[in-house]
Amino acid sequence: MAAQRLPMVQYLMNRGYLKPEQLEEAQRVAKQTNNPDIGRVLIELGMVGEREVTEARAQEMGLGFVDLDRMQQIDSSAVNVVPERIAKLHGVLPVRKEGMNLWLAMSNPNNIQALDDVRMVSGCRVIPVLAVPGAIEDAIRRAYPSSTGGAATPEPAQPTPAAAAAQTPNLSNDIRSAIAGAQVARGRDIAEEEMAEQDAEKMAEQAPIIRLANALIQQAIYDRASDIHVEPMQRSVRVRYRIDGVLMEAMSVPRNLMAPLISRLKIMADMNIAERRIPQDGRIEVRAQGKEYDLRVSSIPCPFGEKIVMRILDKSSVMIGLNKLGFTDENLAQLEELVSQPNGMFLSTGPTGSGKTTTQYSVLNKLNTIGVNILTVEDPIEYQLPGISQVQVNRKAGLSFATALRAFLRQDPDIIMVGEMRDLETAEIAIESSLTGHLVLSTLHTNDAPSATIRMIDMGVEPYLISATVIGVLAQRLGRRLCNECKEPYEMKAIELRRFGMTMDNPDEVVRLYRAVGCDACRQTGYKGRIGIYELMIMNAEIAELVVRRAPLADIKEAAKANGMKELREDGLGKALLGITDPAEVRRVVFTAGF
């Protein structure tokens, strides 16, 4: 008869690891910080060790627990069937092998991709067991001594781009071999355009297709892609990655693998694989390069099959801090002063993919202290922030932005974030919230900061309410950074930069700039990474009066510039003069017709 599972805290108390008064204190702290993970709270308060909490979790989940710190020797027959690359990629370690059974130490037993990869490379039935994350990393270094020389060594310096590229697994080869294996499993009748639904589902569970789907995702993460596009064409399936804001073709998959590949991705995202006529949304959690990633998956029906787009969200990206987003010292100081106010509305504007959400989350992360109650309503919740109550819109259940905002006003909030103001009802309740003593953060889709006031008037908001509540508007874009390994300097006459807002005393003045060249470190593009370009408008009495009078946009923009606002093109020029980016990139992301 199987042993009875106990709740984690009950197990800790039965073992004498936790006292009732300690549990009460931890529950109080968890409630104050809105942290649902009582185990993590116990660890952070120093009441219970991470080893004991992990052991209790394993018991609660009905899994085994392995204490890697006390394990003298790891089963070499287990280690030999799992490559070091797979172990490090997912943060897992094979610890025991008996016949075709392989016990795998991991910190997240729900990591389906890790289980699939290990099952595929080992050919074994994988049995997950829980272990402390830090202990897994230490044990991996002990189990695979070839990577560490078998002895303790100082922390290595950061590798050069060339060395880093050499250390990166060649996943392109993995993809090619996975496609070849899938072709063999599928058969080579490429003339057959469609596959029966039951055949596609069956093949989606086979190792070659599992390997292909996992390799597509892993390659995208290694290439720093923000989105993966899987697009059925008439004769093939095109896969593109969006890297540094630009789509690049990554590979082409044979047409006869389309149905099982799409089915596999939909299975991973917990979507209905039998439904192919309507759009669907799903989510995949993966671990790669020692980080946790969320993939937001969207499918739409197209003439040649379903198109899948996966947005890759790095959970650690919102924790980098406002000071690392590319603000000038002046803009950063003004922004921090704005969001420290007790009430009012602060808006972020820009097109889709311009980094508005990252900026808003970074602001929330700065404001998130034990003394404030922060509530957010989002669609979807892109990043989960500890200590913040986040609400997911559910229109089918009747939970809209407006409904959630009404409920928020009865939740004693200090700060409210609205994922996006899309209609008059949402805007009016957000304005009401700011008028009643709350700081409200939200986003709009406009081209620049002054246009936000015009957009709200167009939605039906009364101008006097806008002038009374909006304290600042931040417009932003994301431009590509020049690659530090290959960028080269050149000189240009300052007069040629007039359209960027460049002013000069001498028309013949020469400025030093940098341009993209291309090397192995940046995939021959000349760019690596992205930088924010910003335009911060601070509301003052003059701008408020113009808004109330429904003045033309040009008048509002001139008043904002007189109040110290630097336009997007000017901020971009400043970053170009510093060698961070180049004028061509600023022109690409900032300039519109008529500029």
Distance CA 557, CA 535 (A): 11
pLDDT of residue 320: 65
User: Between residues 280 and 592, which one has the greater pLDDT?
Assistant: 280
What's the pLDDT at 523? 79
Q: Is the pLDDT of residue 4 over 60?
A: yes
Q: Where are the alpha helices (DSSP H) in 244-339?
A: 258-268, 329-339
227-259 per-position pLDDT tens digit: 999 999 988 899 999 998 889 988 888 888 888
| Mean pLDDT calculated for residue range 92-114 | 88
Instruction: Give the relative orientation of helices 171-186 and 207-222 as an angle to the nearest 10 degrees.
Output: 160
Given pLDDT bands bounded at 50, 70 and 90, which one contains residue 193? very low
513: left (phi over 0), alpha (psi -120 to 50) or beta: beta
Residue 276 has pLDDT above 90, yes or no: no
Residue from 62, 58, 48 nearest 105 by CA: 58
pLDDT tens for residues 530-587? 999 999 999 999 999 999 999 999 999 999 999 999 999 999 999 999 999 999 899 9
* Alpha carbon 559 to chain centroid, angstroms: 36
| pLDDT of residue 214 exceeding 90 | no
The full length of the chain comes to 595
Average pLDDT over residues 9-26: 85
State percent of the chain over pLDDT 70: 87
CA 509 to each of CA 239, 492, 493, 512, 556: distance values in angstroms, whole numbers, following the listed order: 47, 9, 6, 10, 32
Torsion of CA 416, 418, 423, 426, to 10 degrees: -30
Give the lowest-confidence range in 171-180, 205-214, 474-483. Answer: 171-180
pTM score, whole prediction: 0.66
Selected residue with higher pLDDT from 194 and 395: 395
- pLDDT the model gives residue 190: 41
* Nearest of 575, 367, 593 to residue 584 by alpha carbon: 575
User: Which residue is associated with the tokens 């291309």?
Assistant: 518
- Render pLDDT for 325-357 as a digit per residue (tens, 0 to 9): 889 999 999 999 999 999 999 999 998 888 888
Per-residue pLDDT at 545:
96
Residue 593 has pLDDT above 80, yes or no: no
Q: Strands of 419-571 (E only): list them.
A: 439-444, 470-482, 488-493, 510-515, 527-538
CA distances to 7, 10, 34, 42, 574 from 47, rounded to whole Å, are: 17, 15, 19, 5, 51
DSSP string, 334-364: HHHHHHTSSSEEEEEE-STTSSHHHHHHHHH
Whether residue 33 is predicted with pLDDT greater than 90 in this model: the reply is no
Q: What's the pLDDT score for residue 594?
A: 47
- 538 φ, ψ to 5°? -100, 125
- For position 191, what pLDDT does the model report? 39
Interval 194-209: pLDDT, tens: 455 556 666 666 777 8
Q: Is 80 exceeded by the pLDDT of residue 172?
A: no
Residue 44 pLDDT exceeds 80? no
Q: Tokens 């170009």 belong to which residue?
A: 576
Q: Average pLDDT over the chain, rounded to whole?
A: 84
Q: Please compute the mean of the pLDDT values over residues 42-59 and round it to a whole number.
A: 84
Average pLDDT over residues 414-422: 89
Share of the chain above pLDDT 90, in %: 34
